[in-house]
Every structure is written in structure tokens, then in C-alpha cells.
Amino acid sequence: MAIRLATEYVKTCLQLTEAEMAKFIRMFVDHGASLQVKVLENGNQEVVLPDDAGEEIVLSFEREMNLYVCRGTCRIRNKNLVNLMRKAVAEFKGDAIVHRIYAAYTMVYTYKQGAVIRITEQKGAAEKVIYEYRDTVGQLEQLFHKNEVEQEIQMLKAQVNHLLDMRNEMQEAAIREHIDGRLHKLTHRLFVLEA
């Protein structure tokens, strides 16, 4: 089994309310992570987590309206912190691109609204898709609600009726031929759409 060297949160976005921010901090404390919370003058907060080998992970939360927003990158080596960060992204519906780095390859996890939507394996320049979320139910619902074809059929039928009325009123053969040509094209299109 491959040993993970590090986990890198390349692109992370967490948006927390004040209550969620307290829950976020409590989640790390409850799982034995020692951390420091620095409250800055402008209301922003920094959560500092000690990682392996004496390194510190700094998560900066900027105050935007009524939310604390964390955008940025960090590299984590401590397995406990890696698991807690994964749980935080899932629980607080965060978006992230996470690189799980191994000696020979990197697994890239893409999170959207807390759920994994794509997993790829990168070996050098080669990339292999391992998993990709497909919202087939949503796609089928969207397809079901599409009604452009029905609208086009109604429009074509109205044009055919209008041209038939014009054809019955016209006495000139050249105009009737022109109308017949248009009717032929419209009826062919109707046949294609209704098939």
C-alpha cells in the first residue's frame, strides 16, 4: 500500500457563518488538534494548526458581510489534520481541489459543495479519471422539461396554416409555386421534428 507523503489543499473555499465558525474550531479541538485562533482588528480570524515537523498551517478567514471566508492553499502532513480538514470541507459544503501526494503519483480530488465530484490520478504528464460524478437524474429532468421542439412544431404549423390561406387566395401561378416550395420545406421540417 502506498504511503501518502502529504495532502495539499490547492484551491479551497469555505464560507462559514459565525455559528459555523465556532463549530469548525470546536471540531478540531474535539479531535485533539491543538490550535490557536487569532482575531485580527478588522474582524478577520486566523486558525493556526501545528503540523508534523514543527510546521504551522495557517487558515485565514476574512470577514465578508456575515460570513467568514477562507480561500487559499495549505499543505498538511498530519493524518489527523488531513481527516479533519476533509470532514470540514464536507460538513461545511466547501469547494476544494485537493492533491493527495504519494511517491509515484498524485490523486486529485475535486470537491463542490462538500461532495467529491471528480477524482483523477496524475503520473507525470499523464492523467487518468478514476471517478466523475454525473447527475443523471438532473440531466433527465432537464431533458424532460425541454420543450423547444414542441414550440418549434407549433410555430411551423402556424406558418403552414398561414401559407395555405395565402395559397388559396392567390391566383398567380408563380406566387403559388413559391408558396408550394415553402410549404414543402416546412412540412419536411415538421416530419423530421415529429419523428
* Lookup: cell for 134: 454525473
Cβ-proximal residues to 122 (8 Å cutoff; 6+ apart), any chain: 105, 106, 107, 108, 128
Q: Per residue of the chain (195 residues), give pLDDT as tens.
A: 678 888 999 999 999 999 999 999 999 999 988 889 999 888 899 999 988 767 899 999 999 989 999 998 999 999 999 999 999 999 999 999 999 999 999 999 999 999 999 999 999 899 999 999 888 887 778 777 777 888 888 888 899 899 888 888 888 888 888 888 998 998 888 888 887
Residue 149 is predicted with a pLDDT of 80
Instruction: Of 71, 111, 87, 72, give the one whose Cα is nearest residue 23.
Output: 87
Residue 1 is predicted with a pLDDT of 64
Report in angstroms the alpha-carbon separations of 179 from 28, 156, 163, 167, 184: 76, 14, 7, 7, 9
Domain 4-133: CATH class, spelled out: alpha beta
Instruction: Annotate 75-85 with b (16+ C-beta within 10 A) or e (fewer).
Output: ebbbeebbebb
Residue 167 is predicted with a pLDDT of 86
Alpha-carbon 61 to chain mean position: 22
**Does the predicted model carry a pTM greater than 0.75?**
no
Check if the beta carbon of residue 12 is closer than 8 Å to that of residue 95.
yes
- Helix axes of 18-30 and 79-91: crossing angle, nearest 10 degrees: 150
Residue 121 is predicted with a pLDDT of 95
